[in-house]
Amino acid sequence: MKTWLTSGGFKITRVLFGRTNVFLLSNGKSNLLVDTGIKSEGKRLLKRLMMTGKPDAVILTHTHFDHAGNAGMLKEHFSPKFIVQEKEKDYLESGDSPIPYGTRPWTRFIYSLGAEKKQHWFHVPGVKADIIFGEQYDLSGYGFKAFILHTPGHSPGSCCIVIDNEIALVGDTLGGFIPGIVLPPWGDDVDEMVRSWKKLLETGCHTFLPAHGFAVSRKRIEAGYRMRV
């Protein structure tokens, strides 16, 4: 399990890596889980959390099936608080998982094959949202110098977690699979996503950890942003 450490001593552990990256933010007293991964990885996630520590709360960067797939299982085992942006609340509670539009020709083609009619394939067990926020949510109540920032584009309620103004956990706001490319292959509104990149660049963060792929540098985001403004 790869880890990152901020200058304030906050530890970020990548507890799942592969289909969807799942991160645990720790300060020695509190643990915040960011995303829950795809349902088929539930047993592996549970095993890892038994090693790293019980989550006090779960922050969902958004509620698509590959991010909220194990929300119900975690609720049953640990009873954490679930934190979600207000535009994702109904999806979290219903378990519905809308498929985003494609941002490239090949993903737009896949979407055109009838994605809207297949949303039921991606339904996950829903859970109640405990904490709902709008533009920002301060995490100091859990003992972290960190906040959640609304960064729409991939989905209406997508968000990122900014820690110590050094490292951000960015969900699907950025892609980390293809060198030199930060635009994810899926997203509802590319223009809005680019505006969300600007929000992230306005923080002091130097490292951005996406839900798919590898860490993205500030320099890489700056280059991607310049290409689209």
φ, ψ (nearest 5 deg) of residue 160: -130, 155
Write down the domain spans for the chain.
3-228
Give which of 190, 200, 199 is closest to 227, Cα–Cα.
190
pLDDT at residue 110 greater than cutoff 80: no
Q: Which residue has the higher pLDDT, 117 or 17?
A: 17
Give which of 4, 24, 26, 16 is closest to 143, Cα–Cα.
26
pLDDT at residue 116 greater than cutoff 70: no
Task: Kindly list the distances between the CA atom of residue 35 and the CA atoms of 21, 30, 144, 149, 171, in Å, as whole numbers in the listed order.
Answer: 8, 16, 18, 15, 8
φ, ψ (nearest 5 deg) of residue 90: -65, -35
What does the DSSP 8-state code read for residue 132? E
φ, ψ (nearest 5 deg) of residue 12: -115, 120
Mean pLDDT of 161-176: 97
In the three-class reduction of DSSP (H, G, I as helix; E, B as strand; rest coil), residue 88 is classed as: helix
Per residue in 174-213, pLDDT (tens digit) is 998 887 789 999 999 999 999 999 999 999 999 999 999 9
Which pLDDT belongs to residue 113?
67
Read off the pLDDT band of 98 (50, 70, 90).
confident
CB 39 within 8 A of CB 124: yes
Read off the pLDDT band of 122 (50, 70, 90).
confident
Task: Kindly list the distances between the CA atom of residue 143 and the CA atoms of 188, 200, 209, 219, in Å, as whole numbers in the listed order.
Answer: 34, 22, 21, 30
Residue 37 structure tokens? 């991964």
* Overall size of the chain counted in residues: 229
Per residue in 18-47, pLDDT (tens digit) is 889 999 999 999 999 999 999 999 999 999
Q: C-alpha 226: how far from its chain's center? A: 24
Per residue in 42-70, pLDDT (tens digit) is 999 999 999 999 999 999 999 999 999 99
Residue 177 structure tokens? 């699979």
Task: Determine what percent of the chain is predicted with pLDDT higher than 70.
Answer: 96
Q: Average model confidence (pLDDT) for the chain?
A: 93
CA dihedral 97, 101, 104, 107 (to 10 degrees): 60
Q: How far apart are CA 200 and CA 217, in angstroms?
A: 12
| 3-228, CATH topology level | Metallo-beta-lactamase; Chain A (3.60.15)
Which pLDDT belongs to residue 179?
79
CA atoms within 13 A on the CB side of 154: 27
Mean pLDDT of 10-19: 95
Which pLDDT belongs to residue 107?
80
